[in-house]
Structure 1
Amino acid sequence: MRGYSGAPTIEPVTVRGLIIDWGGVLTTPLRDAIAEWIEADDIDHEGYRLVMREWFAQAYAGDGAVNPVHGLEDGSLPPAEFERMLAERLRTRGGMAVAAEGLLLRMFAAFEPVEEMYEALRRARAAGVRTCLLSNSWGNTYPRESFDELFDQVVISGEVGLRKPDPEIFHHALGLLGLPAPECAFIDDIEHNIRAAEDLGIVGVHHADAATTVARLEELFGVSLG
């Protein structure tokens, strides 16, 4: 028993994979894009807030019920139908109807890429980290011309018929990367999605800003990403 410390030795797990969200992580914050759209389209903000609170509460309730957000994200509800349903619930500040056609495009028009996050992805991949985009799509136009440079795999919810926070979409991403959950980190700006990933053993990184997230990734991967 000579040298016994009284506690087992636990080897640290090497994180070799990175699963990352798009909107609000690789782009400027969603709240900023929505604020610009509300101002540009003269949307009644309180009306928008109420319908989104209702729909998101249903979408993340975990009771299996399908609502417009759930349907849009898993591809079972066409974007044009979502636009129609949302426009019916919205009004301008002057009480006028809101145009449904192109509504989603206008909502996200102010998204801008966050170069610090893009550079961190490039450096992580160059260091041998396997990368996967995992995005809940809202009919978005993605910058696919940059995907080959940034990602080993791409999972977009509406294209695979699954959505975060469902466990199946995380298992799908892990399978594509060929890595077990404890060897992967997952970045998202929605805490509910982070908790879902952590429940599967994935290392969660709740994104608030690029500097904090990149610093955490440097700790996990042991390489400079700035």
Structure 2
Amino acid sequence: MLKGVLIDWGGVLTVDLSEAVAEWVVAERLDPDHYRQVMRELVMNAYEGSATGENMIHALERGEISGLDFERDLAARLLTTDGVPPIAEGLLARMFSRFHRVEPMYEMLREARAAGVRTCLLSNSWANEYPRDGWDDVFDEVVISGEIGMRKPEARIFQHALGRIGLAGPECVFVDDIQANIEAARGLGIVGVHHRDPETTISELETLLRVPLR
């Protein structure tokens, strides 16, 4: 019987990452092809199982470098449609302003808690300010990578989150939109749900938890 839900924030409790970032790319007037080339290398190195070594995303997500340092580095790699780098300061805040919350997912968490399910946010941060209004209603615990010096898909951050809610891996389900994170959770016996859209995820969680969630 599953008793807990570990859940990601960006792209799960918010609109799809590609949708949010696409809005930001337009607003920043970034060269989209150049942006995709830069980020493909960084993100693949950070999350692909075949990747080796560390890069600045690892450091940012663990809180080992400041958001401003990351912004300066990233801005220097990017180009606007005018052929110049974007303004570095506030680059991440402008990006995360596009991460609008998805209300059905928050309602699902409220229903899960009302049914006695333990809930924990488990998010890799990019030095961003999270919109925490109403979090006391949906989360028993909050685990944010930059605040504790660990990041997904490291096993230790899942173990830390499990300890915070007092449950074992096989007693929990983990919801995320990144396959590498799902696979890491499954390696600890946690049931993995790969989020693609709210309707599908909520239906799958209703089946797994055996409670109505809407």
Question: Considering the TM-score relative to the shorter chain, is it more than 0.5?
Answer: yes
User: Is the 8 Å Cα contact of residues 31 and 80 (structure 2) preserved in structure 1?
Assistant: yes
Q: Does 1:164 align with 2:159?
A: no
- TM-score of the superposition, structure 2-length normalised? 0.96
- The SS at the match of 2:152 is coil
1:198 is the counterpart of 2:198:
no
Q: CA deviation at 1:119?
A: 0.4
After superposition, residues 1-226 of structure 1 pair within 5 angstroms as 14-61=1-48, 65-226=53-214
Give the fraction of aligned pairs with identical amino acids, expressed as a percent.
57
Task: Tell me the matched-pair count.
Answer: 213
CA distance in structure 1 between the aligned counterparts of 2:68 and 2:120, rounded to whole angstroms: 28
Give the distance between the partners of 2:26 and 2:43, measured in 1 at CA: 22
Shift of the alpha carbon at 1:191? Answer: 0.9
Q: 2:130 aligns to what SS in structure 1? A: coil
The match for 1:4 is none
**Take 1:112 and 1:37, find their aligned partners in 2: how far apart are those partners?**
12
- Paired letter, 1:204: G
- Kindly report structure 1 stretches of 4+ aligned residues shifted beyond 4 Å: 61-64
Amino acid across the alignment from 1:36: E
TM-score under structure 1 length normalisation? 0.91
CA drift at 1:114: 0.5
Superposed CA RMSD:
1.1
Cα distance in 2 between the residues matched to 1:130 and 1:140: 25
Question: More displaced, 26-35 or 50-59?
Answer: 50-59
- Gaps in structure 2 of 5+ consecutive residues: none
Distance 2:40 2:68 in 1: 21
The Cα offsets for residues 17-67 of structure 1, whole Å up to 9 and x where unpaired, read as 000000000001111111111111110111111111111122125667221
